[in-house]
């Protein structure tokens, strides 16, 4: 039991462990006739090699795999070009297949002008979980990308406010939706309790907050005072 706790803690210290990359990662499939979806055909024609694959899923849903290093260029073209005009970013999410396979970031796009949907996927190897943020193009991506960052550990370059969103800000155990994250968390229940009890209260409150009494007015003034003095890093606490 003690060994279990130790190994779990070590895993946290080391951060998300990239499993060994699979030898010769499987290429994205190229099935289906791309001329049936105008955007897929146009993407292949315009971006060539940056389009790694395409596939027709579930009857009528087109998926296109693109090169993550050129993702921003490609999706902004999809948004701006009047023939495609994907003005609605329905969803940004990620898929971890486990076993060292790359994490895939998935964009669900919809064009309210042409009433067409398209799914874009980007394969990110586990040792380079980084992709450009599309927040500047679609404000809707703001929280969605924060969620992917929180639950998968994918960093979005150029995101204005990349913080954890669903898990606590000081969550230590990693990124829950990754396959190497156990269902019950990395820490045993006993360890979680121990950590909670040993938490440094002064991380949240200044010593003077804890000693403070008096009227609410005095308390509020003191809070503003300490904010001014720059004693707190995070003004919201």
**Binding footprint of other proteins on the chain (CB under 8 A):** 55, 57-59, 61, 63, 87-91, 93, 95-98, 106, 108, 112, 115, 117, 119, 138-144, 147, 151, 164-168, 176-177, 181, 183, 220, 223-224, 227, 235-236
Q: How far apart are CA 75 and CA 73, in angstroms?
A: 6
Q: Crossing angle, helix 71-80 and helix 38-47, to 10 degrees?
A: 130
CB of 89 to other proteins, least distance (A): 6
As measured in angstroms, the least distance from the Cβ of 88 to other proteins is 6
Kindly state the DSSP code that residue 70 receives in the 8-state scheme. G
Q: Rounded to the nearest whole angstrom, what is the least distance from the CB of residue 27 to other proteins in the complex?
A: 15
* CA atoms of 133 and 211, how far apart (whole Å): 44
Q: Are 154 and 71 in contact (CB under 8 A)?
A: no
Of the pair 3, 234, the CB lying nearest other proteins is at 234
Q: Provide Rg for the chain, Cα atoms.
A: 23
- Rounded to the nearest whole angstrom, what is the least distance from the CB of residue 178 to other proteins in the complex? 10
Nearer to other proteins, 115 or 203 (CB): 115
User: How are the residues of the chain apportioned to helix, strand and coil, as percentages rounded to the nearest 5?
Assistant: 35, 20, 45
* Helix axes of 189-197 and 2-14: crossing angle, nearest 10 degrees: 70
Residue 51 or 103: which CB sits closer to other proteins?
103
Cα 185 off chain centre by? 19
Closest distance to other proteins from the beta carbon of 158 (Å): 17
d(CA 223, CA 208): 10
Task: Report the residue number, 21 or 160, with the smaller CB distance to other proteins.
Answer: 160
- Residue 66 or 144: the one with the smaller Cβ distance to other proteins is 144
Q: How far is the CB of 2 from other proteins (least distance, A)?
A: 27
Write down the H helix ranges in the chain.
Answer: 2-14, 38-47, 71-80, 141-152, 189-197, 201-204, 207-211, 216-228
CB-wise, 188 or 223, nearer to other proteins?
A: 223
């Amino acid at each position: 039991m003690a060994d279990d706790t130790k190994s779990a803690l070590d895993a946290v210290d080391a951060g998300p462990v990239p499993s060994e990359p699979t030898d010769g990662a499987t290429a994205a499939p190229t099935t289906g006739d791309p001329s049936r979806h105008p955007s897929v055909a146009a993407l292949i024609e315009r971006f060539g090699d940056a389009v790694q694959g395409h596939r027709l899923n579930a009857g009528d849903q087109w998926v296109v795999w693109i090169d993550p290093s050129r993702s921003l260029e490609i999706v902004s073209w999809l948004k701006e070009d009047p023939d495609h005009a994907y003005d609605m970013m329905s969803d940004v999410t990620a898929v971890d297949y486990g076993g060292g396979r790359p994490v895939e970031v998935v964009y669900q796009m919809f064009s309210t002008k042409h009433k067409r949907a398209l799914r874009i996927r980007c394969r990110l190897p586990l040792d380079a979980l980084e992709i450009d943020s599309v927040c500047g193009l679609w404000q809707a991506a703001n929280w969605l990308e924060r969620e992917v960052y929180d639950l998968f550990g994918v960093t979005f370059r150029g995101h204005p406010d990349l913080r954890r969103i669903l898990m606590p800000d000081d969550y230590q155990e990693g990124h829950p939706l990754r396959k190497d994250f156990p269902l019950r968390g990395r820490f045993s229940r006993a360890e979680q309790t121990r950590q909670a009890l040993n938490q440094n209260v002064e991380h949240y409150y200044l010593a003077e907050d804890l000693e403070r009494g008096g009227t609410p007015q005095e308390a509020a003034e003191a809070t503003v005072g300490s904010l001014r003095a720059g004693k707190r890093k995070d003004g919201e606490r």
